[in-house]
Amino acid sequence: MEKEINYRLVTELIFEKLLRNHERYKNKYPHISNLMSEGGRLDYEPMDNNLWTSSFFPGEMLLAYSLTGAKEFIADKKSYLDSFEKRLNEHIGISHDLGFLYSLTCVALYKLTEDKRAKEIAAKAADELYHRFNRKGNYIQAWGKMNAGDPYVLIIADTMLNLPLLYQSEDPKHAEAAMLHACTASRTIVRKDFSSFHTYLMDPMSGSAIEGRTHQGFRDSSTWARGQAWIVYGYALSYSYTKDKEFLNIACKAADYFLERLPKDKVAYWDLSFNDMVPDIRDSSAAAIFACGLLELSVLLDNHIKIKKYIKTAKEIVGSLYENYFNHDMNSPVVLTNGMYHRELGSVGTSWGDYFFLEALARLLDNHVRFW
């Protein structure tokens, strides 16, 4: 990248998209761009609050509020609280993803407005997430019902971004569970060379680890790009809460593994087995998450060479995302093209890629508000 893009200008384009679309997402939430409108526009179908992705549009609105102070970005506060409280009370789509869901809504609203109701709902969500903790194996079960008699259950890389809901809870046993999960994942999901499995099979009765697998990656033994990005950012966040140097070491080594496999345009292919010689589709969302991880590391480290390298790469990624993968159709809510959810769905826009792109831009504009 020859010169830096104008970060403020890009955030203003995103704000315009958010405001043009927010009426459509009143009590509804974007997921992935699986709809093409009649004009061939990339679009997010407004969905009910029942997926792991329901918090990313509210999260973008709240980031926009923290960057601008403009009231229209927080106008739906009550509807967010009502909807996310109902989801918790009615037990809709409950999994380890409670962290994604409640960090970017109730935790964010509490941080921005000190709203007591937001704090109470976040505390309840943290407790619900804690109930997924298996004390024998010291891990948080990703999916499925607890104590259902399954011969094995899964832990997954993505959980690393769900831990901050527990770290930020006032109940110390929640933070302890988060720290223990990060330790277990460091011996299972994270491989010796600091690449990662997407998932790991665990025996819920004995708590013992069985073997590594994948769910969204190319193969069990490969490294799914988004999973590696969850590891980098997740261990950086775990370090920020625990000050355990091993977590910082994992985040840096996993970041270096990712960095060494970036293609020429710095936006990763969906699995790190692919490269410019053997290309496949990209995952702009993995790139955006990775950039946030690098920028988080840059404020945690005291090694100036590493800090410089991580900031430079994050800027190159964000620059390339804008130059090559920004959706300039201002009537479309989709910000980034070329994301990946499940490979068989092809190249899509992703609500989470849009959120992490805005978070990376906010960080580059020196706004270090962190909902995680």
Q: Which residues are catalytic?
A: 97, 158
Minimum CB separation of residue 369 from ligand GLY in Å reads: 23
43 binds ligand GLY (CB under 6 A): no
Token pair 């997430």: residue: 129
Chain residues 260-279 in contact with ligand GLY, contact rule CB under 6 A: none
| E runs forming strands in the chain | 35-36, 42-43, 133-134, 139-140, 153-156, 199-202, 209-213, 339-340, 347-348
Of 139 and 341, CB closest to ligand GLY = 341
Interacting residue with ligand GLY among 43, 76, 85, 158 (CB under 6 A)? 158
∠ CA 297-125-245, nearest 5°, is 25
Question: Per DSSP, what are the bridge partners of residue 223?
Answer: none
226 binds ligand GLY (CB under 6 A): yes
Question: Is the separation of the CB atoms in 126 and 105 below 8 Å?
Answer: no
282 lines the binding site for ligand GLY (CB under 6 A) = no
Nearer to ligand GLY, 111 or 226 (CB): 226
* Nearest approach, Cβ of residue 226 and ligand GLY (Å): 5
Give the pairing of strands 42-43 and 153-156.
Answer: unpaired
Q: Which of 92, 100, 164, 88 is nearest to 124 (CA)?
A: 88
Query: Any contact of residue 198 with ligand GLY (CB under 6 A)?
Result: no
Kindly state the number of chain residues that form the binding site for ligand GLY, as judged by CB under 6 A. Answer: 5
3-state secondary structure of 134: strand
Q: How far is CA 284 from CA 64, 171, 319, in A?
A: 21, 36, 12
Minimum CB separation from ligand GLY for residue 304, in Å?
32
Closer by beta carbon to ligand GLY, 322 or else 341: 341
Smallest distance, ligand GLY to C-beta of residue 158, A: 4
Confirm if 211 and 234 have CB atoms less than 8 A apart.
no
Nearer to ligand GLY, 77 or 198 (CB): 198
Could you tell me the smallest distance in angstroms from the CB atom of residue 143 to ligand GLY?
A: 10
When asked if residue 22 is in the footprint of ligand GLY (CB under 6 A), the reply is no
CA dihedral of 13, 22, 267, 221, whole degrees rounded to 10: 170
Nearer to ligand GLY, 159 or 242 (CB): 159
**Site for ligand GLY, residues 315 to 344, rule: CB under 6 A:** 341
Task: State which of positions 340-369 bind ligand GLY (CB under 6 A).
Answer: 341
* Contact (CB, 8 A) for 30 and 355: no
Residues 76, 61: contact at Cβ < 8 Å?
A: yes
| Binding region for ligand GLY (CB under 6 A) | 52, 158, 216, 226, 341
